[in-house]
Amino acid sequence: MAWARELTEPERIEITRKAARARVELGLRRYASPRRVVRAVAKRISRRRTTCLGEDELVAEATALGFLLGEQWRLKLGWRWRYVTDGAWQGFAVTTMDEQLVYPCVSRVMTMLADQNEEVNVVTVFKMVAAGNMPPARPSGYQWLS
């Protein structure tokens, strides 16, 4: 059974700092639209997955891009950051306010960077949720989006 907790202040600061650094690395202005940022993240994932990343580099890239991606979900869609635990998986994710839906940004970016067979679907999922096309779920149901 999944559960989530609020982030600590140091965790919030880390997310904000790493997301801002990723935004600069992608050449995006501070007030770029969330859709533009999500497209830039998808392009970066597509480019970087063709290179051989070491483990540390993979984790750093996935963390920075995942945090930047999650910030767009928070800003545009009104989701919030939580630290989610579900069985053996635990990590930062964005959730709807009632925790019906969960999107594990860092984990998804890590998977897309590490596995060239994995579809880079961050734009598609973002647009789907922004349009209100979400699967049915119950409050605190922790339905995972991928």
The answer to whether the CB of 70 falls within 8 A of the CB of 88 is no
pLDDT at position 24: 96
CA 82 to CA 6: how far, in whole Å?
Answer: 5
pLDDT at position 2: 76
pLDDT at position 139: 67
pLDDT at position 51: 79
Strand 3-5 with 80-86, pairing: antiparallel
Q: What does the pLDDT profile of the chain (146 residues) look like in tens digits? A: 678 899 999 999 999 999 999 999 999 998 899 999 999 999 999 998 877 778 899 999 999 999 999 999 999 999 999 999 888 889 999 999 988 889 999 999 999 999 888 999 999 999 988 988 777 776 666 667 87
CA 18 to CA 69: how far, in whole Å?
Answer: 11
Q: Is 55 exposed, middle or buried (0-12, 13-18, 19+ CB in 10 A)?
A: exposed
This prediction's pTM: 0.91
First to last CA, the chain: 18
